[in-house]
Amino acid sequence: MPNTTETIGPLRLQRKLGVGKLSEVWTANDTSAEAADRKKLWAVKFLVADAAGDRDQRKLLEHELRVSKSLAHPGIVRIDRFEVIDGIPLLVMELFDHPNLKTQLAETPEPLMARLPRILTEAALALAHMHARGWIHRDIKPDNLLASPEGQVKLIDMALAVKKPGVLGRLLGGASPRGRGLVQGTPSYMSPEQIRGQVVDARADIYSFGCTAFELLAGRPPFQSRTQTELLQMQLTSQPPSVESYNRSVPKGVVRLIRKMLSKNAASRPASMDEVVEQLRSFRKLERASQA
């Protein structure tokens, strides 16, 4: 795979931003004759060698592009194009050169706390836009939210997004963006109905957003376990602890909102992300929680 001295066609790689099992993300210049600005940096997500020939993984990248093209929000990273260059499938994306919230929580928690009121509100607004356009993200978590030092947020990774509610399968895994016969997501943030393979709607994302908000305020997800099986069972049946037990500065209203978002019954959660946004905006005392 490419390193800092190599290129993918006209894309000159500069710096690695992230790495996963099947893909890597780098900053890069587009040196092609068609490039409007060859000095401009992009984020390039490409499949690693073992996955480059995987048709399902290529379809996921193409799916991400389709989702991105249907969205227009400052809180969602824009994808410019999908290409296959020298046999490597890749996405060329807007560069938002800031770490994700999972990394910031682990490395610089105190500065992050000071920005949480804006971060949570902006993340909720981005997700509300997705829902308004008919998409369910299905993988909301701190890892998929980038944040600047000022608190500006960008939602990323639309690979699992679905256009309409559908019946999911029984087990984790698989690559189909439609989730045919498969349950997809991240166990620490998955809603009970997503795990059970029931029909999911925007309220599944609300549950995941509740898990994310809990972790950002408490420093840990609501449920933790050594095994995936036990973790999924906890998501299904265990009542989450109160975020207040980990951060006593969280306002009562925020504690209630998170508890509501983490309801096992989807009908008991906020009806929409618009409702979550309005409640977050009304909690001026959230500023106090950010100083804990």
Question: Which of the residues are catalytic?
Answer: 139
- Cα separation, 224 vs 199, whole angstroms: 25
Q: What is the DSSP letter of 269?
A: S
| Residue recorded with tokens 């682990």 | 106
Dig out the tokens for 120 from the structure. Answer: 């949570």
Dig out the tokens for 103 from the structure. Answer: 């990394």
Dig out the tokens for 250 from the structure. Answer: 């969280």
- Assign 153 to helix, strand or coil: strand
Contact indicator for 149, 101 with CB cutoff of 8 Å: no
Closest among 225, 269, 216 to 246, alpha carbons compared: 216
- Cα separation, 242 vs 264, whole angstroms: 15
- Cα separation, 214 vs 87, whole angstroms: 42
Contact indicator for 240, 208 with CB cutoff of 8 Å: no
| Residue recorded with tokens 């400052």 | 74
Question: In terms of DSSP H, where are the helices of the chain?
Answer: 55-69, 101-107, 109-132, 192-196, 202-218, 228-237, 252-261, 273-282, 286-289
* DSSP output for 8-56: ETTEEEEEEEEE-SSEEEEEEEE-STT-S-TT-EEEEEEE-TTTTT-HH
